[in-house]
Chain A
Amino acid sequence: GAGVSQSPSNKVTEKGKDVELRCDPISGHTALYWYRQSLGQGLEFLIYFQGNSAPDKSGLPSDRFSAERTGGSVSTLTIQRTQQEDSAVYLCASSLNRAEAFFGQGTRLTVV
């Protein structure tokens, strides 16, 4: 595609529910990153994919968080049993190896 696409753009969910966030990277980009930004905070690294594998998932805050990438393209970030502290903007970025990273517009997750 022309850019990194994330869906949904906004998600409101009840505490305890599971949510799935989707990222469509730029076609051909091998690297894919998930970050989150809590209100007033900086970027917090979650996980990095190179192709379909995740050489660095050290940023996932708990075992409620998981992510996968299939076909070297689309990635899904899943949060199980959501908590209020999970409320944040979740950003996805893709790059061709170590070249410029292009970001999506983010998914704003609100857990009520």
Chain B
Amino acid sequence: KNQVEQSPQSLIILEGKNCTLQCNYTVSPFSNLRWYKQDTGRGPVSLTIMTFSENTKSNGRYTATLDADTKQSSLHITASQLSDSASYICVVSGLSQAGTALIFGKGTTLSVSS
């Protein structure tokens, strides 16, 4: 069964610290993987997309990595800010014609405190 598992479920860090969020998936065959950020009270918004051939991609203080062999991705946040407090959702797209096209993880809730 195609699944996306995220860890940790929640995380609290101090402002200025770094953190890494994990996403493991079993979706096969694989097309791409996206990380979304969901601010409180708003819908999720895409941060970055990773395709099969990409190992790392940065978007400002956010760096996503992908290991297609082990089916793992991480989102690293550098020098965290209070505005980084949000839920981060990993979404994997498969190539199979059957079933759900996009598989969503349950998300990691990040709280950045001063």
- A interface list, Cβ under 8 A from B: 4, 31, 33, 35, 40-45, 48, 50, 55-56, 91, 93, 95, 97-98, 100-106
Contact = CB atoms under 8 A, between A and B. Distances in A.
Contact of A100 (B9, B43, B46): B46
A98 B102 contact: yes
Interface of B: 6, 9, 31-32, 34, 36, 38, 41-46, 49, 87, 89, 91, 93-95, 98-102, 104-107, 109
B89 A43 contact: yes
B102 A42 contact: no
Given A91-B43, A98-B93, A100-B46, A56 B102 contact: no
Contacts of B38: 103
B43 A105 contact: yes
A35 B93 contact: no
Given A103-B43, A103-B44, A105-B42, A95 B101 contact: yes
Name the residue among B94, B100, B109 with the largest chain A CB count within 10 angstroms.
Answer: B100
